[in-house]
Chains A and B, each alone.
Chain A
């Protein structure tokens, strides 16, 4: 067991350096959370020597809701509203891969229009979730302006999603074989206006937050995760991309319309909190690009039912009338207690916080036999344990905010 050396952390950040050891008597043990303004729904037990964290122990599970078990007692489609509760501002991203897994078991492919609609909502959600993350990050390092701005601007994206789906947050938008609603007539204008607005606002965000000297001082060189360590810890999403790992589920295994739209995956090499903030910032820009492309595509192509023919052919005439009148796909009755053929499938999608993986197993009943969820925050929580030691107590909120850890998603 090696002795931890303060200040040597950057060069010697190896996993063997942070083995949990016996608490020394002169260490101060502080319980940050769960009733703490800087903890969220979790507890971080830190042991500090002076102002330096010697050990950090993330204690998760305060909002565990047994989602995987609950899913086994519900019909396939009814699990979508359940899984949305993991990250409500990121509802489409966290459920789309579940739907894709179901489609793989059913062996169907949604029509291109549905793919673009899902992609559109996914990117709207991604921006909203990143803004939420920025807001929490801002208030964690005492920057109340960033908090207020990003929460106010998130409303733009939330309203855009409301126009598209009818719901502000938990949209329950994707269904096996398609999507629930086509875009309304005035959606493209509203979306383009929102994109223009965000391009302007992002510049102001950069000025007040990312390029603010005080913020830079707080974030630069804090919570460095070197590329090798990031790979060993298995972090995903913006955390991995800020450490130079170019991994994105949208690239690794393109789903929906991601193989057709043009976008870049921002990768930074520094691996510190500032790089993670920049990754999120650049991702918002890329999401705006994708929204523009998706809206253009949807406008160019004729309206058709955004659902697979296998379901649409069987639907009663009333359903078709509703679609023609409102552009809304009424949920098919056969979908409510649909039986999936026996089989198993795995699917992944890139949420705002990283890659989410669903493993779905069916034994031919109307409920799943097993749904396994690997959520990004659960994979990123390990950063607390291995990266936080060696930094100051005041760096803990910085690290927390920069990895954008979201307890409801991690605990499931």
Chain B
């Protein structure tokens, strides 16, 4: 009996399966449901409304998004005759899967038994994987064969070129400070959280993640009042739901990466031996920190409108990019002085 349980546990906690399916797919779904609920509730509070309420008033409308998802799941998926059928269907699915892929390669514990891949170049691999999924949003816009979708896709392309460099520079500044590409070593090196040592890089990373996931001052590709829903204009039903969810899943993946790099990962806890203390608890700490970070991301919605495309790009290249370079320079200085 104990053998069977051990077998099941070892299958569940086989790192690639655990991180991709449990943390990546299920965990991100749960976090996203909670975050969207939180975002709507926080915005509603600022705007003097109730927000989601009528589905389970005792839970303050928490399962609202579950209800929405069920509705999306049973809605008819309409594929326009003029659309490129295969790409139209594939693009949102691939984008969603790819957007959680970075979670499968980051360490959620310092215990080598529970690393999904060898960790020597893990920060590079994770960053590289974050850059894959946006392409499929452009593909979705192109395959829709709709003017609004194409304009939205082109805007997405502009925004990608603006934020990717910043995200990579600012997150890699940690590896410059610690002189390693190993995420575990970066986490372990943070006696003081890296956000305190290099707030400039954190701010740049924060802004780039907002841009990457259409967070509010940068909600440009889907800007409703010019391009309807941007690349997703022609989508309906589950495919639309996937498209919308993909942005939040991507934000979750970025948040986990940022937690590992800037916020000390599993920091107050020291992972030990065994599944419970070596894997489950540290990974939950990381996910909880990522959720808190996402809550902060979602507060911008009620404060800001959206920038114009050229203003966002100008801000990214003229302000945030130098900030990321400065953060990188600060990291090099810290490495030279041996702060970390």
Which residues of A approach B to under 8 Å, CB–CB?
A: 28, 30, 32, 36-38, 51, 138-146, 148-149, 152, 208, 212, 214-215, 217-218, 392-397
Complex CA–CA separation, A326 to B223 (angstroms)? 51
12 contacts between A and B (CB under 8 A): A37-B228, A142-B225, A144-B43, A208-B303, A212-B305, A215-B304, A215-B305, A217-B308, A218-B305, A218-B307, A395-B308, A397-B225
Contacts of B43 in A (CB 8 A): 144-145
Instruction: Given the known inter-chain contacts A30-B148, A149-B48, A395-B308, please indicate yes or no for A142 contacting B223, CB distance below 8 A.
Output: yes
Q: For the A-B complex with A36-B228, A395-B308 known, give 16 more contacts whose Cβ atoms are closer than 8 Å.
A: A38-B224, A38-B225, A138-B305, A139-B225, A141-B306, A142-B219, A142-B304, A144-B301, A144-B302, A145-B302, A146-B305, A149-B47, A149-B48, A214-B217, A215-B304, A396-B226
Complex CA–CA separation, A333 to B307 (angstroms)? 58
Complex CA–CA separation, A30 to B48 (angstroms)? 37
Select one of A28, A37, A214 contacting B225, CB under 8 A: A37
Instruction: Given the known inter-chain contacts A144-B47, A152-B48, please indicate yes or no for A392 contacting B310, CB distance below 8 A.
Output: yes
Complex CA–CA separation, A88 to B338 (angstroms)? 69
Q: Is the CB of B310 within 8 A of A393?
A: no
In the complex, per-residue mask of B290-322: 1 if CB is within 8 Å of any chain A CB, else 0: 000000000001111111111100000000000
Complex CA–CA separation, A394 to B226 (angstroms)? 6
Q: Is the CB of B309 within 8 A of A142?
A: no
Contacts of A152 in B (CB 8 A): 47-49
Closest A residue by C-beta to B310: A392
Q: Is the CB of B216 within 8 A of A393?
A: no
In the complex, per-residue mask of B227-249: 1 if CB is within 8 Å of any chain A CB, else 0: 01000000000000000000000
Complex CA–CA separation, A30 to B301 (angstroms)? 28
Contacts of A51 in B (CB 8 A): 309-310
Contacts of B46 in A (CB 8 A): 145
Say if the beta carbon of B147 comes within 8 Å of chain A.
Answer: yes
Q: Measured between C-beta atoms, what is the minimum distance from A340 to chain B in Å?
A: 46
Q: Is the CB of B147 within 8 A of A393?
A: no
Contacts of B302 in A (CB 8 A): 144-145
Interface centre among A152, A393, A394, A396 (most CB of B within 10 A): A394
- What is the total of A-B residue contacts with beta carbons within 8 Å? 83
Complex CA–CA separation, A142 to B225 (angstroms)? 8
Q: Measured between C-beta atoms, what is the minimum distance from B71 to chain A in Å?
A: 20
Q: Is the CB of A214 within 8 A of B310?
A: no
Main SS of the interface on chain A? helix
Instruction: Given the known inter-chain contacts A148-B49, A149-B48, please indicate yes or no for A214 contacting B305, CB distance below 8 A.
Output: yes
Say if the beta carbon of B151 comes within 8 Å of chain A.
Answer: yes
Closest B residue by C-beta to A398: B308
Contacts of B226 in A (CB 8 A): 32, 38, 393-394, 396-397
Select one of B47, B49, B148, B305 contacting A142, CB under 8 A: B305
Q: Measured between C-beta atoms, what is the minimum distance from A147 to chain B in Å?
A: 8
Q: Measured between C-beta atoms, what is the minimum distance from A47 to chain B in Å?
A: 12
Q: Is the CB of B308 within 8 A of A392?
A: yes
Q: Is the CB of A30 within 8 A of B224?
A: no
Q: Measured between C-beta atoms, what is the minimum distance from B136 to chain A in Å?
A: 23
Q: Is the CB of A141 within 8 A of B305?
A: yes
Q: Measured between C-beta atoms, what is the minimum distance from A242 to chain B in Å?
A: 19
Contacts of A212 in B (CB 8 A): 303-305
Q: Measured between C-beta atoms, what is the minimum distance from A21 to chain B in Å?
A: 21
Q: Is the CB of B307 within 8 A of A217?
A: yes
Contacts of A215 in B (CB 8 A): 304-305
In the complex, per-residue mask of B197-241: 1 if CB is within 8 Å of any chain A CB, else 0: 000000000000000000011011001111010000000000000
Contacts of B310 in A (CB 8 A): 51, 392
Closest B residue by C-beta to A147: B47
Q: Is the CB of A218 within 8 A of B308?
A: yes
Complex CA–CA separation, A396 to B43 (angstroms)? 26
Q: Is the CB of A142 within 8 A of B303?
A: no
Interface centre among B148, B225, B309, B311 (most CB of A within 10 A): B225
Q: Is the CB of A145 within 8 A of B219?
A: no
Q: Measured between C-beta atoms, what is the minimum distance from B161 to chain A in Å?
A: 15
Complex CA–CA separation, A392 to B46 (angstroms)? 31
Q: Is the CB of B47 within 8 A of A394?
A: no
Q: Is the CB of B47 within 8 A of A214?
A: no
Complex CA–CA separation, A380 to B83 (angstroms)? 39
Complex CA–CA separation, A145 to B307 (angstroms)? 15
Contacts of A141 in B (CB 8 A): 225, 305-306
Closest B residue by C-beta to A36: B228
Q: Measured between C-beta atoms, what is the minimum distance from B165 to chain A in Å?
A: 21
Complex CA–CA separation, A218 to B315 (angstroms)? 13
Contacts of B220 in A (CB 8 A): 394
Q: Is the CB of B303 within 8 A of A394?
A: no
Contacts of A217 in B (CB 8 A): 307-308, 311
Complex CA–CA separation, A142 to B224 (angstroms)? 8
Of all A-B residue pairs in the complex, the 3 with the closest CB atoms, nearest first, are A38-B225, A148-B47, A142-B306
Q: Measured between C-beta atoms, what is the minimum distance from B141 to chain A in Å?
A: 14
Contacts of A395 in B (CB 8 A): 308
Interface centre among B47, B49, B148, B310 (most CB of A within 10 A): B47
